Structure 1
C-alpha cells in the first residue's frame, strides 16, 4: 500500500524501506521457485519440437501431422483451463500446482511409447488436460502476494522461464537425442521424453512442501510483513472496478473477450516460434541436433534481457500499452526479416529480435486484465483469457505445418506470425489507457 493510500484509509503506513525489504523477501522466496516450475513446464510442453527432428522421420509424420499433434495440447488445455483454475482458487495453489506438475510429468514420460499419429494426438491432448491451470494459476497466485504496480516485473521474471527453458533445454534436448540414441533399443527422442519428465515429478513434490497459499500462512514472514502485504492487496482490490463473480458473468464480459483476442495474437507468435525454432534453424543451414540446440538458444538468451528490461520499465513508469505495442511490432519485424533473408547470420539475428519481442508481450500482457479483474472473478477471468488465447497454440503450429507442406518453406508461416503480432499491437493501442495503467 502506498503511503497516500494508507493515510486515506486511516492506517499507519509502514516505512518505505520496510515495505521494499518485505517485497524483496517475498520476491526471492517465491519467484525463482515459480520460475523453476515454469522452466520444467515449458520444456515438457515444447520439447516435441526437438523430438520432431527424429520422431517424424522414424514414424512417418508429415509436417501437417506434427503441427496438428503439437497443437492438440491446447485443445485439452482449453477444455480444462477454467475448471482447473476455479479448483485452484478453492483448494489453494500448494496442492493444486503440485498435482498438475506430477500428473504432466507422468504423461510426458509416456510419450516414449508413441508409435503412430493417433497415439501422438492422444498423448498431446492428455498432456494439455494435465497441465491446464498451471500458468493462469500462477498468475492468479501472484495477485495474492503482489499489488498491481509491482506485478509486471514479477510476471516478466517468472515468464523469462520460457527463454531460459530454450537456452538450456534446446542444447540439452539435442545432446540427449544424440548421446542416448540406440541405448537399450530406444531412439534418442524416446530418451529425451523420459529424462526430461523426471524434473516435473520431483519439483511437483517440492511444491507441496514449499509454497504457502497466502501471506497469513507464511511462517517465513513475521506479522508486520504479513500485514504490509495484506494491506497492499486489499487497497489494490479496493481501487478496481467491480469484477464479475460468476463464471456465467465472466463469459458475458466483452472486455474479457477483447483481452482474449489480444492474447491470442501474441500467443500465436510465441508458439510459432517455440514449436518451430529447431526446424527454422535447421532450414537456415545448421546441421546436427546439438548444434541446432546451441544456435536455437541464442534468440532465447537475447529474449531474457529484453523481457526483464521491459518489465522493470513498465512498473517504473506505470505504463502498460506502449510497453506491449513496441515489443509486438519489433517481433513482427523480426519474423518478416527472418522469412525474407537468405543469410544464416541475419536469420538468427532476426529470430533473436522476434523472440525478444514476442516473448516480452506475454508477461506484460497480464498487467492489462489483472489491472481491472479482482476477487473471485479473477480466477475465472484469467483462466478464460488464457484458455482462449492459448487456442493459438493449436492454430499456430497446425497452420505453419500446413503452409510448410504446401509451399516447401517456413517463410509464409513466419509472415503470418508477423501479421498476428501487428493485429495484437493495434488492439492494445485501442484499449483505453485508464483501464490498464495502474
Structure 2
C-alpha cells in the first residue's frame, strides 16, 4: 500500500492499483501493523456487530409501531372509530405515501450529514411520539393523519440502516448483516402479537381507556426510550466514529478498500451526482419493479392476525398463534443468509424462499382445514428469508459507489412500497374467510418478482464474464482494467 500526502489539507491518501482512499490525518500510520492481524479484525467485527445489533431492536419497534393497527383491529379499533367500507385499508395504506416521499431526500441528507447515530434515532423519536398519539384519535380523519405522518417519520430508517451497514462490511459479509437488522420484521410480527395479546387482554378500561389505545401508548413510549439509547450506541462512518481507536479506524477503511470496490473513498461524488447515477441506471428500476411485486405478495403479513382469526379462535389465542410462524421465519432467515454469504450466491436462495411461500399460498387456497391453514402460515412466513437475501443482493450490486448506493436503496425501498399500498386493498373483508382471490393475487405477483430477478441474475452473470474477459485482455496487454478483483454476487 502506497501513501500520498495532500499538501493543502494534510490528509493522507492510500493508493493501490485500482482505488484511492482519502482518510483523516493520523489514521494510516497504524494500518501496516494491524492490517494482517486477523484477531484485530475479528475484534473489530465483534464490536461492530454488538453495536449494530441495536438496529434489530429499532427495526422490531419500527414494524410494531407500523403494524399495531392490525392487532388493534381485533379489539374494537374499527368499531370505536366508526370505520366503514375500505376505510381500514386506507388507514393501512396511507402510511406508505409519506414513507415513499421521504426515502430519497432522507438518504441523500444522511449521505451529506454523515452522522447516522444522530439522524436515525432522531427519526425514531418522532415516529414513537406519533405512534403514541395515535391512541388519542377518535375518528377516521385523525387515524389517517396520524398514519400519514408516521410514514414520513419511519421512511428514513430502513434505507438509512442499509446504507450504514454497506459502509462497514465487505461484500461477502453483507447478507448476514442485512438479515441481522431486517430480522426485526419477523421478530416484530412474533413478539408484537405476544405483547398485543397481553395489553389487549389486561388493559381494557384502565383509566377509562380502551385496550387498543393502551397498545399505542405503551409501544410508542418504548420506541422513544430506545431512540435515546440508540444515539449513544450506533456507529457513524469508519472515518468519524469516535469510539474507534486509530488502529481500528484504519483497519475499517483499508479492509473495504481491499474488497475490490471503492466504498472506502471518503471524498466521493456529491449527493446530486449520486441521484443522477441511480436514476440513470436501469438496474435500479428493474430491482424497484420486482420489489413492488414482491411487497404486494408479502401483503399478507399486515393481515396476519386476521388470517389467524379465520381458524375460529378468540382474539388472545389468534394473536398467540401468530408468534410461532414468525419465530421459525427468523431462524430460517439467519440460516439462509449465512449460507448465501458463504456460497456468495443470491438469486438461488431468494427463489427458493419464494417457492416455499408460494406453496403456502396454494395450501390456503385449496383448503379450510384448520391444521392445514395453520401449516400454510408457517410456509408463508418464510418469505422474509428471501426478502433479506434480496437486500443483501441490492447492496452488493451498487456498493461500489456510496452516493449512488444511498439513492438507489432509497428509490428501491421507497417506490417499492407501492406494492404495500396496493396490497392493503388485496385482502378485502368480503373475500374472507377463504381469501382465495387474495392468495391468487399473491401467487401471481411472487411469480413476477421471482422471474424478473431471474433476468437480473442472468444479466449480472454476463457482466461478470465481461469483466473477466477484460482482465484477461488487460494481462495480455500489460495494462489491467480498473475493475480488477470486482465481481457482482449473483
- TM-score, structure 2 as length reference: 0.82
Partner of 1:107: 130
Deviation at 1:250, TM superposition (A): 2.3
Mapping 1:119-198, distance limit 5 Å: 119-198=142-221
Deviation at 1:338, TM superposition (A): 2.2
Partner of 2:415: 388
Please identify, of 111-120 and 156-165, the stretch whose mean Cα deviation from structure 2 is larger. 111-120
Which of 236, 260, 273 is the equivalent residue of 2:300?
273
Which of 72, 81, 86 is the equivalent residue of 2:103?
81
The question of whether the paired residues in 2 share the 8 Å contact of 1:328 and 1:424 is answered with no
CA distance in 1, matches of 2:420, 2:332: 23
Partner of 2:380: 354
Partner of 1:345: 371
Structure with greater Cα Rg: 2
1:437 matched to 2:460? The reply is no
What is the root-mean-square deviation in Å for CA atoms of aligned residues? 2.4
CA distance in 2, matches of 1:336, 1:47: 27
Say how many residue pairs are matched: 427
Partner of 2:309: 282
Partner of 2:405: 378
Structure 2: 5+ residue stretches without partners: 2-14, 20-30, 464-487
Partner of 2:447: 422
CA distance in 2, matches of 1:303, 1:134: 22
CA distance in 2, matches of 1:46, 1:386: 18
Give 3-state SS (helix, strand or coil) of 1:61's partner. Answer: coil
Q: 1:290 to 1:227 in 2, by over 3 A?
A: same
Deviations 1:313-356 (A, max 9, x none): 01000001101111011111112212322122211111111101
Deviation at 1:248, TM superposition (A): 3.7
The question of whether the paired residues in 1 share the 8 Å contact of 2:159 and 2:409 is answered with yes
Please identify, of 134-143 and 121-130, the stretch whose mean Cα deviation from structure 2 is larger. 121-130
The question of whether the paired residues in 1 share the 8 Å contact of 2:354 and 2:446 is answered with yes
Deviation at 1:239, TM superposition (A): 6.4
Which of 44, 59, 67 is the equivalent residue of 1:22?
44
Partner of 1:90: 112
Give 3-state SS (helix, strand or coil) of 1:261's partner. Answer: helix
Structure 1: 5+ residue stretches without partners: none
1:222 matched to 2:245? The reply is yes
CA distance in 2, matches of 1:16, 1:95: 31
Give 3-state SS (helix, strand or coil) of 2:231's partner. Answer: helix
Which of 290, 300, 311 is the equivalent residue of 1:262?
290
Please identify, of 115-124 and 80-89, the stretch whose mean Cα deviation from structure 2 is larger. 115-124
Give 3-state SS (helix, strand or coil) of 2:427's partner. Answer: helix
CA distance in 2, matches of 1:365, 1:190: 36
Deviation at 1:180, TM superposition (A): 0.8
1:206 matched to 2:260? The reply is no
Deviation at 1:29, TM superposition (A): 2.5
- TM-score, structure 1 as length reference: 0.91
Deviations 1:128-167 (A, max 9, x none): 0111110000000001111111000011121111111122
1:45 matched to 2:66? The reply is yes
The question of whether the paired residues in 2 share the 8 Å contact of 1:49 and 1:274 is answered with no
Deviations 1:161-208 (A, max 9, x none): 111112211011122112111122211111101111011111111122
The question of whether the paired residues in 2 share the 8 Å contact of 1:64 and 1:405 is answered with no
Partner of 1:321: 347
